Amino acid sequence: MTTKTIEIDPLLNTLCQTLQQQLQSRNIDNPAMIGIHTGGAWIATRLHQMLGLSEALGMLDISFYRDDFTRIGINPEVKPSHLPFNVDDRHIILIDDVLYTGRTIRAALNEIFDYGRPASVMLATLVDRSNGRELPIQPDACGITLDTKTQQHVNLTGPEPLRLTIG
Amino acid sequence: MNKRNIQLDDNNRLRHFLSIEGLKRHILTDILDTAESLSGVTQQTVKKVPLLRGKTVVNLFFEASTRTRTTFELAAKRLSADVLNINLATSATSKGETLLDTLRNLEAMHCDMFVVRHVNSGAAHFIASHAAPHISIINAGDGRHAHPTQAMLDMFTIRRAKGEFYKLKVAIVGDIEHSRVARSQIHALSTLGVEEIRIISPATLVPACCETLGVHVYHDMRQGLEDVDVVIMLRLQNERMETALLPSEHEYYRLYGLTEEKLALAKPDAIIMHPGPINRGVEIDSQVADGPRSVILEQVTHGIAVRMAVMSMAMQSHLADAHSSALESSE
């Protein structure tokens, strides 16, 4: 199977614009952003800058909340999650690179709620692999929707340069 | 030397945690790294992660302990496990039940992990070699032999304060002969590759094996403390005086008690550690114990993260086994 590279910047622009519209229509003026380690954190770093958010960026490593802990075990490289703001009553934008089964987002939501009770959580992902969902989770904003086959791999490498490949 | 280390599974992952001896540096580093990640859990409003949800951890304490048992209990609870505390000094064993029968009964209750403290050296190892295969054993101190989680929390504390291990001079002061903590610390420090390990102790309290472990022995505290980065004080157990190994508390304090004056010989940024409980005015002066270079209370905090790391790593090996056998049976 051949590997195809997708240009990142247009996807980030689309994602950013959709998010701005969403924030406007929901009357949210001071959201807090959380990126999921690793790829989501890279995307979040870019979007955080593009949206000019004042609140520091939060990072989440959801390894301790995964539902496949028994299969893959603990990776000692797990980075401690760092949320530099109080989650209670905040409007949160949760960022990941690729949305596929939805299990990562399920784990992230569980972890966020162990920090407090947010006012709302929006989900934004660079890529939505629309036909692999195993849970009722959909993005509020995404850069591109891909109708990929199960055996394909969508891979983001980074942080500099960010490179998205499908193969 | 091909004897299998029962602490490890077929993939060389931690299955039980019984002693530092026999574990390679990468495993110790994995424990420290995992503990570092898990230390963030205390910042959450809900101070729990679901790693051991639905698992039952039994604290099997055949010997009294407050700090160790409490921090093991907190560690298990922060991993979402259910915890059972059994004080065996006051239970069935005193009615004549054998250790193995106690073990079989707990297995019959479908427990998943035993945290064992026992007065006899080798007790945790004995239980690990007789327990059902799905059970993990963590040694919480056995006789004079080992106290590996204490040693790892000390290593964690040292790494937090000092960074790399290879350029550190570490002095352990006190009753080395009777100390399982010191034994585990020496193995951990040497596996992690510190520059120098010194023990400072009266001649009556130095075990014979020290020289073979590459440790430098000092009887004069002033010489021993010179230029060290880390000072680890050990508790002086009162019963040592009764057996005439030491003249008196007063005399011990004069020679081996850590005071500001003696501490001045160590590096200016040296840290002071003690596994607790401390005897103020016996092995350590209050001014030092409560002073700016003391990390004694940090050690207690770090004990929880380190025990969380060890418990989740050991449980993971068992869960992976259960998962692969479930897959095989479904195929």
Domain ranges of chain A: 4-66+82-166
Q: Which residues of A touch B45 (CB under 8 A)?
A: 87-88, 114-116
Which of B30, B41, B49, B53 best tests the A interface by mutation, with the highest count of A CBs <10 A?
B49
Token digits for B219?
A: 């009887």
Residue A32 has a CB neighbour count (10 Å cut-off) of 22
| Domain made up of A4-66+82-166: CATH architecture | 3-Layer(aba) Sandwich (3.40)
pTM listed for this prediction: 0.88
Contact (CB<8Å) B51/A71: no
- The model's confidence at residue B161, banded by pLDDT at 50, 70 and 90, is very high
Q: Is the pLDDT of residue B241 over 70?
A: no
What is the C-alpha separation between B164 and B162, in angstroms, rounded?
A: 6
Give yes or no for a contact between B118 and B128, defined as CB atoms under 8 angstroms apart: no
B322 to A70: CB separation less than 8 angstroms, yes or no? yes
Q: Which two tokens stand for residue B230?
A: 């880390």
Splitting chain A (167 residues) into consecutive groups of 10 residues, what average pLDDT does each group show? 87 96 95 96 96 95 82 74 93 96 95 95 96 94 89 87 90
Nearest-Cα distance to chain B for A159, in Å, is 22
Asked if B45's CB is within 8 angstroms of A70's CB, the reply is: no
Which residues are bridge partners to B83 per DSSP?
B57
Widest distance between CA atoms in chain B: 71
Does the structure show a pLDDT above 90 at B317? no
The answer, yes or no, to whether residue B3 has pLDDT greater than 70, is no
Distance CA A139, CA A127 (A): 9
Dihedral sign for Cα B292, B293, B296, B302, please: positive
Q: Strand pairing partners for A59?
A: A35, A82
pLDDT for position B301 = 94
Position B1 pLDDT exceeds 60:
no
Q: What integer pLDDT is reported at residue B331 of this predicted model?
A: 40
Q: What pLDDT does residue B248 have?
A: 83
Compute CA distances B272 → A72, B253, B277, B288, whole Å.
39, 16, 14, 8
Task: Give A88's contacts (C-beta < 8 A, 6+ positions apart).
Answer: A116, A117, A118, B45
CB pairs under 8 A between A and B: 60
Q: Which chain A residues have a beta carbon less than 8 Å from that of B44?
A: 114-115
Using a CB–CB cut-off of 8 Å, the residues of B that contact A are: 13, 29-31, 33-34, 36-41, 43-46, 48-51, 312-313, 316-317, 319-320, 322-323
Lowest-pLDDT range, A70-84, B125-139, B146-160? A70-84
Task: Return the residue in B37, B38, B311 with the most chain A beta carbons within 10 A, the one to mutate for interface testing.
Answer: B37
Smallest Cβ–Cβ distance between B40 and the set A65, A76, A81 belongs to A81
Q: Which CATH number applies to B25-146+301-319?
A: 3.40.50.1370
* pLDDT, mean of residues B134-143: 95
Most B CBs within 10 Å, among A66, A74, A90, to test the B interface: A74
| B92 has a pLDDT exceeding 60 | no
**The CATH number of the domain covering residues in B148-295:** 3.40.50.1370
Q: How far is CA A38 from CA A44, A104, A109, B144, B169, in A?
A: 10, 12, 16, 45, 37
Q: Do A70 and B50 touch (CB under 8 A)?
A: no
Identify the pLDDT of residue B245: 74
Residues B33 and A79: their CA atoms lie apart, in Å, by: 9
Inter-CA distances, B177 with A144, B38, B152, B266, Å: 67, 34, 20, 24
Specify the residue for token string 């162990």. A114
Cα B219 to Cα B142: distance, rounded to the nearest angstrom? 27
Q: Smallest CA–CA separation between B136 and chain A, in Å?
A: 15
Q: Which residues of A touch B (CB under 8 A)?
A: 61, 63-65, 69-71, 73-74, 76-82, 87-88, 110, 113-116
Our CA-based measurement puts residue A66 at a distance from the nearest CA of chain B, in whole angstroms, of 8
Can you give the pLDDT at residue B326?
A: 56
- For residues B43, B46, B52, B56, the Cα torsion angle rounded to the nearest 10 degrees is 120
Say how many residues make up chain B: 331
Task: Assess whether the region B25-146+301-319 and the region B148-295 belong to the same CATH fold.
Answer: yes
% of chain B at pLDDT higher than 70? 91
Displacement of CA A44 from its chain's centroid (Å): 7
Range B119-134 average pLDDT: 93
- Give me the pLDDT at residue B322, please: 64
Q: Got the DSSP string for B219-241?
A: S-HHHHHTT-SEEEE-PPPTHHH
Look at B50 and A74 and tell me if their CB atoms are within 8 Å.
Answer: no
In angstroms, the CA B288 to CA B292 distance is 8
Residue B329 pLDDT greater than 70, yes or no: no
- 8 A C-beta contact, residue B106 and residue B114: yes
User: Measured between beta carbons, which residues in chain B are less than 8 angstroms from residue A87?
Assistant: 45
Which of B12, B25, B34 to mutate to probe the A interface, most A CBs <10 Å? B34
Minimal CA separation from B97 to chain A, in Å:
35
Taking only the tens place, the pLDDT of each residue in B5-17 is 899 998 889 999 9
Radius of gyration of chain A (CA): 15
Cis peptide before A76 (omega within 30 of 0): no
**Beta carbons of A74 and B313 less than 8 Å apart:** yes
Q: Is the per-residue pLDDT at B2 higher than 50? A: no
Chain B residue with Cα closest to A78: B37
Domain boundaries in chain B? 25-146+301-319, 148-295
| Segments in chain B forming alpha helices (H) | 25-38, 67-78, 99-108, 123-130, 148-162, 180-191, 221-225, 239-242, 249-256, 260-263, 286-289, 296-330
Q: Is the peptide bond before B207 cis (omega within 30 degrees of 0)?
A: no
Contacts of B202 (CB under 8 A, 6+ apart): B219, B245, B246, B252, B255, B256
Residue B330 pLDDT exceeds 60 = no
- Residues in A touching B11 (Cβ below 8 Å): none
Q: What is the CA radius of gyration of chain B?
A: 20
The pLDDT value given to residue A77: 76
- Compute the distance between CA of residue A165 and CA of residue B40 in angstroms, rounded to an integer: 33
Q: Which of B306, B312, B300 is nearest to B57 (CA)?
A: B312
| pLDDT of B328 over the 60 cut | no
CA geometry: angle B35, B39, B44, nearest 5 deg? 145
What is the overall mean pLDDT for chain B?
90
Rounded Cα–Cα distance for residues A85 and B307 (Å): 28
